[in-house]
């Protein structure tokens, strides 16, 4: 792997501030790793042997950025600098040890334990041979304490495997398996955030299998994977062809850190889990998933295990299809977008598109509008009220699902006959 000098935006400002404050500034971790891989980097980690806060605040002011604390107690802060449509992120932190070499040895993986001074980007400090590991596509922990210091690093390592096509060093894998139960002590939000980044990778399947094989998944309550089922790809081009406004509609108050692709992959992943949905509800609550996101993910799990013969039958009315999905607790209409992007059969993709187009007409507050309005129901059954009225509506719905009634006239006749018999 050839050496590449990293491109650090606003480098001259950082060099000036380092000299002005008489405090060395080092670029560390991801920016150098990405430079070796030939990737552009928008997240730059910077460390200093003393408190970097005055430098971070001055840098933010000079670049018209936004400075804020990440961890005030540990003097970690962040500056966001907007350049056109790009948001550059600069994280400032003090050394974790007395020297740069010792600081690097306390980090998570060797590929992230590389540093260089902002005054000379050509001279890299690499005490653990991270550059060689990256060249060999090897993920290796910095020390035996890496995972006990922060158990989330194990999940981050799997994400690196998916992101950079790495295999895991045997000793590192053994330590991961040994320390996997400690992931239960990590805040659910941090686990959710890391999973969102992992699932945003083009091919997360292998990393997800490692997630289960390592014991990490079991530690936080993920059910087993159904290994007989494949992890499908996301066909965004087809989705956009059938649902041009899909992403905008889909992401109104939805899914935390997940983008469209990663959330669809999350739902694919949930479709491969073998446990009952109640366990998944507990899991999503544990990782603090948004309410709507959790409802969609668990719906996909239920749908993939349901008998879908009726909904796929060509003669089934569209209203009945929507009622069936509603009984499966589908969050409508967003659930139809998920079914559309996960569907392989062109005829059913057309069906989901048609149902989605009908939602404005057939849904009220996310539920299928009854065939008979409340006012008309009172006219036909004036002596029916309260719980009895609710039971009658349920019977009417069940009759429609069974195909006993299909039109407004049939529904009214059904109600009249029911009232006469009661």
Q: What are phi and psi of 62, to 5 degrees?
A: -70, -30
Tokens 């649902």, residue? 243
- What strands lie across the sheet with 76-83, from one edge to the other? 66-71, 76-83, 86-94, 43-48, 26-28, 115-117, 120-125
Q: Torsion angle, CA of 259/261/265/266, rounded to 10 degrees?
A: 10
Q: What are phi and psi of 87, to 5 degrees?
A: -105, 115
Indicate the domain borders of the chain: 11-136, 137-219, 223-369, 374-421
| Integer Cα distance of 174 and 23 in angstroms | 40
pLDDT one-digit tens code per residue, 152-161 = 999 999 999 9
Q: What percent of the chain has pLDDT over 90?
A: 51
According to CATH, the topology of domain 137-219 is Hydrophobic Seed Protein (1.10.110)
| Integer Cα distance of 146 and 153 in angstroms | 7
pLDDT one-digit tens code per residue, 70-110 = 999 999 999 999 988 889 999 999 999 999 999 999 999 99
Q: What is residue 258's three-state secondary structure? A: coil
| Integer Cα distance of 110 and 36 in angstroms | 13
Closest CA to 219 of 180, 177, 173, 275: 180
pLDDT one-digit tens code per residue, 223-270 = 888 765 566 566 666 666 666 666 665 555 555 688 777 888 888 888
Among the four given CATH numbers 3.40.50.1820, 1.10.1380.10, 3.90.1150.10, 3.30.460.10, the one describing domain 11-136: 3.30.460.10
The set of residues, in sequence order, having a beta carbon less than 8 Å from that of 139 and lying 6+ positions away, is 109, 111, 133, 157, 160, 161, 166, 167, 168, 169, 172
* DSSP line for 292-322: HHHHHHHHHHHHTTS--HHHH-TTS-HHHHH
Identify the band that residue 3 occupies on the pLDDT scale cut at 50, 70 and 90. Answer: low
- Distance from the Cα of residue 370 to its chain's centroid: 35
Closest CA to 247 of 238, 260, 258: 260
194 pLDDT above the threshold of 80: yes
| Integer Cα distance of 140 and 258 in angstroms | 28
């Amino acid at each position: 792997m050839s050496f590449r000098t990293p491109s650090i935006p606003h480098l001259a400002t950082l060099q000036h501030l380092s000299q002005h404050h008489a405090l060395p500034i080092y670029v560390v971790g991801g920016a150098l790793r990405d430079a070796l891989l030939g990737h552009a980097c928008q997240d730059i980690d910077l460390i200093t042997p003393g408190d970097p806060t005055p430098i971070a605040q001055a840098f933010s002011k000079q670049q018209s950025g936004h400075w804020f604390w990440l961890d005030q107690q540990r003097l970690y802060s962040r500056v966001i600098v907007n350049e056109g449509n790009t948001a550059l992120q600069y994280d400032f932190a003090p050394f974790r040890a007395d020297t740069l070499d010792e600081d690097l040895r306390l980090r998570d993986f060797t590929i992230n334990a590389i540093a260089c001074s902002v005054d000379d980007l050509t001279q890299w400090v690499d005490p653990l041979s991270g550059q060689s590991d990256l060249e060999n596509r090897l993920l290796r922990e910095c020390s035996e304490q890496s995972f006990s210091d922060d158990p989330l690093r194990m999940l981050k390592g799997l994400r690196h495997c998916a992101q950079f096509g790495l295999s895991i060093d045997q000793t590192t894998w053994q330590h991961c398996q040994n320390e996997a139960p400690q992931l239960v002590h990590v805040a659910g939000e941090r686990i959710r955030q890391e999973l969102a980044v992992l699932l945003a990778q083009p091919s997360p399947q292998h990393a997800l299998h490692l997630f289960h094989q390592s014991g990490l998944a079991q530690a936080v309550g993920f059910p087993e994977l159904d290994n007989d089922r494949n992890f499908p790809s996301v066909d965004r081009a087809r989705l956009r062809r059938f649902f041009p406004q899909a992403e905008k509609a889909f992401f109104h108050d939805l899914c935390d850190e997940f983008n469209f692709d990663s959330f669809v992959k999350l739902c694919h992943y949930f479709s491969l889990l073998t446990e009952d949905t109640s366990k998944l509800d507990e899991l999503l609550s544990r990782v603090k998933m948004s309410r709507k996101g959790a409802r969609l993910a668990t719906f996909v799990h239920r749908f993939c295990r349901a008998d879908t013969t009726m909904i796929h039958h060509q003669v089934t009315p569209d209203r009945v299809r929507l009622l069936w999905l509603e009984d499966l607790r589908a969050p409508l209409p967003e659930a139809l977008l998920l079914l559309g992007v996960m569907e392989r059969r062109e005829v059913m993709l057309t069906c989901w598109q048609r149902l989605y187009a009908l939602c404005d007409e057939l849904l009220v507050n996310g539920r299928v509008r009854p065939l008979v309005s409340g006012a008309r129901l009172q006219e036909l059954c004036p002596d029916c009220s309260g719980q009895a009225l609710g039971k009658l509506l349920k019977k009417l719905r069940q009759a429609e699902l069974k195909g006993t009634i299909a039109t407004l006239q049939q529904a009214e006749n059904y109600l009249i006959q029911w009232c006469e018999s009661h």
